[in-house]
Structure 1
Amino acid sequence: MTEAIGPFAYNIPFFSIFLAMLSAIAVPLLPRTSRTAERLTMAVTALVGVLSAYLLANVAGTGESFTFMMGHFPAPWGNELRAGPLEALLALFFCASMFLSLLGNAGSTEEDIPAERRYLFCVMVNLILSSLLALIYTNDIFTAYVFIEINTIAACAVVAAKDCGETVRAALRYLVMSLVGSGLILISICLLYDLTGHLLMQHMRTSIAEMTAAGRHTLPLTVSLILMTTGLAVKSALYPFGSWLPDAHGNATNASSAILSGLVLKGHIFLIIKVFFRVFGTDTVRLLHMDSALLFFGMAGMVMGSLHALCQTSLKRMIAWSSIAQVGYIFLGIGLNTAAGIAAGCLHILVHAAVKPMLFTAAGGLIAVSGHKKELQALRGAFYRNRWAGVGLIAGACSMIGIPTFAGFASKLNLAMASFESPAVLQGLVVLALSTLLNALYYIPAAIVILTPQSDAAPSPSAAVEPVPPFYGGAMAAFLALNFLLGLFYDPIMRIIGQGLAVLG
C-alpha cells in the first residue's frame, strides 16, 4: 500500500465484491412479495458506485496502483486483488450503468417477472455485479475463472427470468456457448499453471517472460494464449462467436438486456486486456500474432454485426446485433496493440456501457406504449407517447453513429487517431468509415419511424393508456448526462485510462 492511498481506500476493492455477494445472500431472507429486494439491490449498487468514486479520486491523483492480499497471505498461497485508476473507473461506470438500468426498467421488470420470483432476479443481479467487480480487481487467474462461471450462471438466469419459450431457448443457447468458452479458458489455465507453477498474474508473467526470452515452451504458450483468448472472445460475443447474443438480449426483459449488453460482455473483454498486459505481456502477444487475429475479427465484427442489424425488423434485435458491431470496435483497439489503441478500446468500453443500456431502456419504453409490439413499424409515432424514451433512442443512435458531442464520437475519433500509429492504418480507417455508414443506415430509419406521426387511424387503446413508469425520466436523463459527459469531456477520461494502462502490467 502506498502512503498516498489511505487504509479505507485500500480496502474498497474487497468491500465492493463482498457487499455485492452479501446482498445476494441476504435477498432470499427478505419478504418475497415486497419490493425490499429491489431496493436493497439498488442501494448496494449505488453504495459500491460511491466507494468506487472515492477509490478513483484516490488512485487517479497519484496514478499508482496497489495490491490487496486476501488474509495477508503472500504468494504463492495467497490470493490478491489489484486496483489502479482504470479498475476504479470501470467499477464506477459499471455501477452507474447497472443502477440506471434497474431504475429505468423497474416497470418492465414488475410486468415480466412474477412478484414471487422477483427476488431471484435480484439475487442474480447481485451476483453479476460481484463477478464483474471480481473480474476487474482480481490478480489471480483461477479466481477470475471462478467468477466467470458465477457470471455465466447468473447471466443465463436473468435471460430466462421472463419465463417464456423464447427466453428459455435463448438462455440454453447462451449457456452452451458460454460453457464452451469456459472450457477453453480452464484448459488454458491448466496449461499455464503447469508451465509456470503460479496462478497470480504477475508471477505468471515473470515465468512466461523468462521462457520466451530463452525460446522454451513456445508451442504450449501459444496454445494457452489461443485457448484463453478464444474462450474469452466467445463470452465477449466477438464475431463470429456472438450468434447467441441477439436471441438472448432481444428476448429478455429490458433490465436484463441492458445489463447483459452494457456490462456482462465488458467484464470478459477487460479480462482479455489484463491477460495481455499482466500475464503474457504485449510483446509476447505481438510475437505470437494474437493481436493481428483480434484485429481481423474485430474489423469483421464491426461490418458483419452492422449488416445483420440492418436486416432486422425488431427494434431490440437490431440493437442486440449492433452490440456485436460495437464489441468489434473494442477489439479493433485491442488488436492495434498500441497504448493509444488499447486506451481507445477502453474508452469504447465505457461508451458502450453508458449508451447501450440507454438504448435498451429506450426501446423498452417505446415498445410499452406501442401495444408491446417489438416490430419497428409498430412503433410509428411512439416518440410522442413517451418522449423520454424517444429522446433516449435518438441520442443513443447519434452516439452509435458518431455524431460530435455524443459519446460514440469520442471513442471513434480516438480509434481513428490510434490507427495512424499502426501498420493497419488503411484497413482500420476504411472499416471505421464503413461501419459508421452502416450504423447510420439502420439507426436513422428507426429514429424516423418513431418520429413519424401515426396515420389518421387512432392508436390502439393498449398503446394509449400505458403509463410511463416512475423514475423512468430521471434514469433516462442520467443516461443522457453520461452520454454527453463522455462525448464532451473525454480528454480527462482518456488521461485516467492512460494512467491505468501504464500501471496495469
Structure 2
Amino acid sequence: MHLIQNFPFISIILCLASGVVSSVLSGKNAKRLCISLVSLLGILNSMVLFYVWKTKESYTFMMGHFPAPWGNELRIGVLESLMAVFFCAIMLLSLCGGMKRIFKDVEEEKTNLYFVMIDLMLSSLLAIIYTNDLFTAYVFVEINTIAACALIMIRNNGHSLVAAAKYMIMSLLGSGLILMALSMLYDLSGHLLMSNIKEAVAQILPGSQYEIPLTVVIALLCVGLAIKSALFPFHSWLPDAYGFSTPSSSAILSSLVSKAYIFLLIKIFYRVIGMDVMIDHKITNALFFFAVIGMLMGSLSAIKEHDIRRLIAFSSVAQIGYIYMGIGLGTKAGMMAALFHILSHAASKSMLFIAASGLSEVSGNSKDFTDLKGSGYRNKIAGIGFTVGALSMVGIPLFAGFTSKVYFAEAAVNASTSKMAIGMVILAISTILNAVYFIRAVISIYTPRNEHFIVPGYKPAVTFSVAMVFFIVLNFVLGIFSNPIMDAIEVGLKMFA
C-alpha cells in the first residue's frame, strides 16, 4: 500500500489528537494549531484526490488490517476526496474570516475549547465522508452533534443557549431514528459494512419476506438524516442555531455540517440500499415533495426577516430543498446537480455569514437592516463579498449559484413528465423569491444612511479580507469552470456506486 493511501485515516486521527492537545493549550496556541491542522489536511487530501483521479479506481483502507465482519474500513474515491478537500478549504476560510469575532464572542478561558470542538467537528466530517461502516458513521454523527451544539452555545448568552437546546433536541431525535434503523438493518443483513449490507439486501429482496422491515429501515434513515440536515418541515432549529452563534460557527454549520449528513444519505442510497431499491420504494418521490415545498417556504420565511443573519439562515432551508430536489429526481443528472450544489451552496453561504458579520461590525453590531444601511461603504470588502454571495444565491450568470440552477434545470428536463413540470416551475418561482430578499438586502447595505455608525480609521482584519477574497474567487471558479468539477463528480459517482 502506498503511503498516500493512508492519508484519509491519518487525517481523522490527527484531528482527534489535535483536539486532545488543544485542550491544554492557550486560546492563541490552540488557534495556531487548528489553522495549521486544517491547512495540512487540505494538502494531504488534495494528494489523495490526485492519486485516485490518476488511478481511476477507488480503494479501501482496513483499520487494523482486520477484514469484515470484525474489522472497520474506509473507502476512498474521487467523490470522497473531492468533498474532503472542499470541506477543509471552506472550514479554513470560515475560521480565518470569523477569527476576530471568535475572540470577541467567546470568553478568554474557553477559547481553546472552541478550537477543540472545531478539531472534533473536522474529524467527524472526514470520517462521515470516508467511512464504509455504518456504525462508525453513526459514532461520528454523534461526535458531530456534540461539537456542533458546543459551537452554538459557546457564546453563553440566552439566545445561543436556547438555540443550542433546540438543536440538541432535534438532533438527538434524528440520531435516535438513525440508530433504530441501523439496529434493524444489522438484524436483517448481519453486517455493518456498507458494501456487505448491499449484497445482503439484494439477496433478501427477491423473496419479499422482509419488504416491510426494509421499508421501515429506509424511512427511518431518511427521516433521521432529513431532521439533521434541516429538510422542510424539520427545519425549526435552524434559524436560531445559525442566527445566534459566532459567524465562523454559523458558516461551518450551514455550509459543512448539514451537507455531511446529506452526503451520508447519498452514500446510503448508492452503497447500502441501492438506488433502484430507493426508487422502487418511492422514497425519491417523498424527498422531492418535501424539497419543493422547502424551496418555497424557506424563501417566504426569509422575505419576512429584518435580521440579516436569520434571513441567510432561512435561505439555507430553501437551498437544502434544492439539493433534496436533485436527489428526489431519482436520476444520475439530478444526483450530480445535487452534489455540485453542495459545493456551490457551501462556498456561497459561508461567505454570506462571514460577510454579514463584517457588515454588522461597522453598524454598531446590529443585524437589523435599518442599521445596516450604508454598511457596504463602511466595510467595502464585506459589502462586495455579501453582494457576490447574494447574486450567486439568486442565480446571476458567472456565479456558482447560476451554474447549479442550470444543472438542476437540465436534470429536471430529463426526469419524468410530472417531476419535470414541477421542478421547472418551482425553480423559476424560487429564483424570483431569492431575488426579492437578497436584492433587497444588497440595496439596503448600499443605501447611504446612519453616518453615526462610521468608525474613524476602521480597517477590517487582514484574515477577514483575505478570506473574503478567496471566497469570491472560489465562487467565480465554481461558476465559470464547472465542467472539470462535474467531470470529477461523474467519475466519483461511478466509483461511489
Q: Same fold (TM over 0.5)?
A: yes
Unmatched segments (≥5 aa) in structure 1:
2-6
1:473 maps to 2:465: yes
Aligned residue for 2:138?
145
Deviations 1:29-88 (A, max 9, x none): 22x2x5110111111001100111111111122332110001110010000100100001
Give aligned-pair identity as a percent.
50
TM-score by length of 2: 0.98
Aligned residue for 2:493?
501
1:449 maps to 2:456: no
Aligned residue for 1:18?
13
1:429 maps to 2:449: no
Task: Tell me the secondary structure at the aligned position of residue 285 of structure 2.
Answer: helix
Unmatched segments (≥5 aa) in structure 2:
none
Distance 1:392 1:70 in 2: 42
Deviates most, 310-319 or 413-422 = 413-422
Given that 1:170 and 1:248 are in contact with CA atoms closer than 8 Å, whether structure 2 keeps it comes out as: yes
Distance 1:219 1:425 in 2: 30
Task: Tell me the secondary structure at the aligned position of residue 422 of structure 1.
Answer: coil
The root-mean-square deviation of aligned C-alpha atoms, in Å, is 1.0
Matches within 5 A, 1:42-441: 42-423=35-416, 424-441=419-436
Task: Tell me the secondary structure at the aligned position of residue 68 of structure 1.
Answer: strand
Distance 1:179 1:44 in 2: 29
Q: CA deviation at 1:114?
A: 1.4
Distance 1:420 1:337 in 2: 13
Task: Tell me the secondary structure at the aligned position of residue 231 of structure 2.
Answer: coil
Given that 1:70 and 1:80 are in contact with CA atoms closer than 8 Å, whether structure 2 keeps it comes out as: yes
Deviations 1:401-426 (A, max 9, x none): 11111000111110110111211101
Deviations 1:313-361 (A, max 9, x none): 0000000000111100100111111111101100000011111110000
Aligned residue for 1:4?
none
Given that 2:362 and 2:453 are in contact with CA atoms closer than 8 Å, whether structure 1 keeps it comes out as: no
Distance 2:82 2:443 in 1: 35
Q: CA deviation at 1:472?
A: 1.1
Distance 1:183 1:492 in 2: 39
The one of 19, 27, 30 equivalent to 2:22 is 27
Distance 1:374 1:149 in 2: 32
Given that 1:385 and 1:464 are in contact with CA atoms closer than 8 Å, whether structure 2 keeps it comes out as: no
Deviations 1:355-411 (A, max 9, x none): 111000000000001000010111000011111100010000010011111000111
Q: CA deviation at 1:466?
A: 5.2
Deviates most, 205-214 or 279-288 = 205-214
Distance 1:213 1:498 in 2: 30
Give the partner amino acid of 1:49. Answer: G
Given that 1:368 and 1:466 are in contact with CA atoms closer than 8 Å, whether structure 2 keeps it comes out as: no
How many residues are treated as equivalent by the alignment?
495
Task: Tell me the secondary structure at the aligned position of residue 459 of structure 1.
Answer: helix
Distance 2:96 2:323 in 1: 27
Give the partner amino acid of 1:173. Answer: K
Q: CA deviation at 1:17?
A: 0.7
Task: Tell me the secondary structure at the aligned position of residue 503 of structure 1.
Answer: helix
Task: Tell me the secondary structure at the aligned position of residue 69 of structure 1.
Answer: strand
TM-score by length of 1: 0.97
Distance 2:53 2:452 in 1: 53
Distance 2:351 2:196 in 1: 40
Given that 1:250 and 1:316 are in contact with CA atoms closer than 8 Å, whether structure 2 keeps it comes out as: yes
Distance 2:135 2:168 in 1: 20
Q: CA deviation at 1:467?
A: 4.2
Q: CA deviation at 1:224?
A: 0.3
Distance 1:194 1:473 in 2: 53
Q: CA deviation at 1:465?
A: 6.0
Give the partner amino acid of 1:426. Answer: A
Runs of 4+ in 1 over 4 A off after TM superposition: 463-467
